[in-house]
Amino acid sequence: MHTIARKSPAGPGRRVRLGALCLVFAALGLPACTSIELGLGLRTRLDTVPVTAVQVALVPGPALAPGASVQLVLTAVTADARKLVTEGPGQGTVLYDSYSFTGSVAQVSAQGVVTLAADPRLSDGRTPHVHVAVNGHPGLVADIDIPVHYNVGYKADFSGHAGSPGFNGADGMAGMSGSPGSLDPDAPSPGGNGSAGGDGGDGQDGGPGEDGKAVQVWVTRKPEPYLLLQIRVASAGSEQLFLLDPAGGTLDISANGGPGGAGGAGGRGGMGGSGGMGTPSGASGANGMDGRRGSDGGGGAAGSIAIVVDPRAQAFLDRIRLSNRSGDGAPGPAPSVSVQAVAPLW
């Protein structure tokens, strides 16, 4: 009778045991976990695999917005028609260090994460491109162009920071136990009284929230046949630029006051010391008073928002959503809107 050994799948239990084994190896200064996974066939490098082609996909895809990232998912096709997919979102076994990446317009990390700069001027009118090479296989490459889209939800937050929380009060010290007396019926003596516990310290008041910023917004239409909005949002010392497709794109602008910091908890009063045993026993000391909880800090004032919009873009102001409330929730000053010619912003 012959027994056929089969390779067991790498199920959850095996992965947990492998994780524990990796920790043990790391503690002993032995080879890294990746080496163990490679040895067990749970991870793959392609340098010794007969790869004939590479396919490239994006997750999520198929396009990329300024300030966003997508993940490359790579599939290596072997000479015997197997498909070996990268780890992570691809749910495969191939390590990303099997590949080398070169990006133009967009940046590509060693783990295949493609990121487009938030500033739309760096990609406006250009197409991000990624070149993929398979390590150990000279000449085996793949290329992908990534369209840029602008029908996404952007955020420009010029709100104040929350106030700092107050420190908790210190707990009171426990009282001392009373000295023992005598329980001898022929020579009785009273036990000493326990001392009172110390009072808890008061909690510190929370700090005030920071005021929201004064924000200025300029909106105009990009000078091209297809409709895109150029938007500049600025406050003192800070600005953000956006290119927005009004067919689905939105921009949320916030200039809210920061919430006040929470007051610190009062310290607990110390327990009174127990009375000493004797004839009679001493009285226990009174417990200390709990400290007062600190007051919450006040919310910061709401910021202001002023918009200057070009007449050609006025119909799309509903794509820009505004919020300026105080840190305590009170509405701030109504945003102002001025319709006048706005030149291209870049």
- Residue 216's Cα: distance from chain center in Å? 27
* Cβ-proximal residues to 216 (8 Å cutoff; 6+ apart), any chain: 233, 234, 235, 306, 308
pTM of the model: 0.78
pLDDT in tens, 143-181: 999 999 999 999 999 999 999 999 999 999 999 999 998
CA distances to 33, 50, 98, 107, 275 from 135, rounded to whole Å, are: 21, 12, 5, 19, 80
**Above pLDDT 70, what percent of the chain?**
89
Distance CA 295, CA 165 (A): 10
Residue scoring higher pLDDT (21 or 179): 179
pLDDT of residue 10: 46
Average pLDDT on 265-279 reads 93
- Residue 5's pLDDT band (boundaries 50, 70, 90)? very low
The DSSP line for 195-239 is PPPPPPPPPPPPPPPPPPPEEEEEEEE-SSSS--EEEEEEETTEE
Q: Which amino acid is at 70?
A: V
Question: 229-235 and 238-244 as β-strands: parallel, antiparallel, unpaired?
Answer: antiparallel
pLDDT of residue 327: 98
Distance CA 25, CA 6 (A): 26
Give the chain's radius of gyration (CA, Å).
34
pLDDT in tens, 62-85: 999 999 999 999 999 999 999 999
Q: Report yes or no: 101 and 95 within 8 Å, Cβ to Cβ.
A: no
pLDDT of residue 9: 43
Domains of the chain: which residue ranges?
43-145, 153-161+207-260+298-339
Tokens of 323: 């919020």
Alpha-helical runs (H) found in the chain: 12-27, 33-40
- Residue 340's pLDDT band (boundaries 50, 70, 90)? very high
* Cβ-proximal residues to 199 (8 Å cutoff; 6+ apart), any chain: 172, 269, 270, 288, 289, 290, 291
Strand pairing partners for 57? 73
If residue 155 lies in a helix (H) or strand (E), which one and from where to where? strand 153-157
pLDDT in tens, 187-222: 899 989 999 999 999 999 999 999 999 999 999 999
CA distances to 205, 236, 267, 290 from 167, rounded to whole Å, are: 8, 32, 10, 15
Compute the mean pLDDT over every residue in the chain, rounded to the nearest whole number. 91
- Residue 224's pLDDT band (boundaries 50, 70, 90)? confident
Distance CA 77, CA 75 (A): 6
CA distances to 144, 204, 263 from 297, rounded to whole Å, are: 53, 10, 7
pLDDT of residue 4: 33
